[in-house]
Structure 1
Amino acid sequence: MKRTEMREHIFRMVFSYEFNSDQEMPQQMQLYFEQLDQEPKEEDMAYIRDKALNVILKSEEIDEMLNEYVTGWKTSRMNKVDLSILRLAVYEMKYDEDVPVGVAINEAVELAKKYSGDEGPAFINGVLARLS
């Protein structure tokens, strides 16, 4: 599976965390993988699961960074799609040494084009540019 595809699955899991409790997430992740048209390889599932959990575990710290750099917006007011994309991108920029900052920003903008509203890609790009 390509990194872009895995990133999209990670984004979906981070997004689903907004609607599930900590106790529900392992089961939700399993159900997520079962509903895919083609089941990913075990190593891909482990990578997706681990990275999603790492983003979730760092979300409070990431939200503090976002609140510091975003003028006029707080994470509590952001729509959940944009917030999930930002959390994943900031995690990749600050904690994942395998992902170059430019790649993290570009991939986040592409996710926003697919899942966010009309202003989402520009908003995501602007926030991440301030953080980089």
Structure 2
Amino acid sequence: MGLRREARELALQILYAIDTNPSATLRETLQNFREGQEVATRVRDFAEGLVLGVQEKRKDIDAAIKARSKNWTLARMPRVDLNVMRVAVYELMYRTDIPKKVTINEAIEIVRRYGDKDSPAFVNGILDEIEACAKTEESSEE
């Protein structure tokens, strides 16, 4: 497994922990993961960068997901699916150094591993719509 895949999976675990224990601060959650897991510094740094980015832009990220989720509220979505999408949407919207197709493929592979049998299609559909919207916005800016 590549370093970035490992980091994305770690970011998923951290975001999931944040969702399931909202009384803990972001700092406490990150510290618990630092102490509880031995990972390469590059993996930890990339994962924490994703988590911090998602948390900083969470309102916009969740709005983008919600706008493309027909008949689904964020509260009804499985936590794994939602947090995989949050990481991917953060990358799609704010990380121009990562190819969009790589982001989507990574999200699908991760949700295939941690989600249920319907998760890959659900996540792929929403991320494809967000990516298509981003392409439209980019071409209108040119």
What is the TM-score with the length of structure 1 in the denominator? 0.88
CA distance in 2, matches of 1:64, 1:50: 21
Q: Determine what percentage of the aligned residue pairs are the same residue.
A: 30
Which structure 2 residues correspond to residues 65-84 of structure 1 after superposition, within 5 A? Answer: 65-84=64-83
For residue 15 of structure 1, what is the aligned residue in structure 2?
16
How far is the alpha carbon of 1:18 from its aligned partner? 0.4
Larger helix percent: 2
For each residue in 1:40-75, what CA deviation from the matched residue of structure 2 results, as whole angstroms up to 9, or x when unmatched?
A: 22x543332232111122111111111111211121
Amino acid at match of 2:13: R
User: Would you identify which runs of 4 or more consecutive aligned residues in structure 1 move more than 6 Å?
Assistant: none
Q: Do the aligned residues in 1 keep the contact of 2:6 with 2:43 (CA within 8 Å)?
A: no
Q: Which residues in structure 2 correspond to 1:1-132 (within 5 Å)?
A: 2-21=3-22, 24-36=25-37, 38-41=38-41, 43-132=42-131
The code of the aligned residue for 2:28 comes to Q
Q: Which runs of 5+ in 1 are unaligned?
A: none
Unpaired runs of 5+ in structure 2?
Answer: 132-142
- Equivalenced residue count is 130
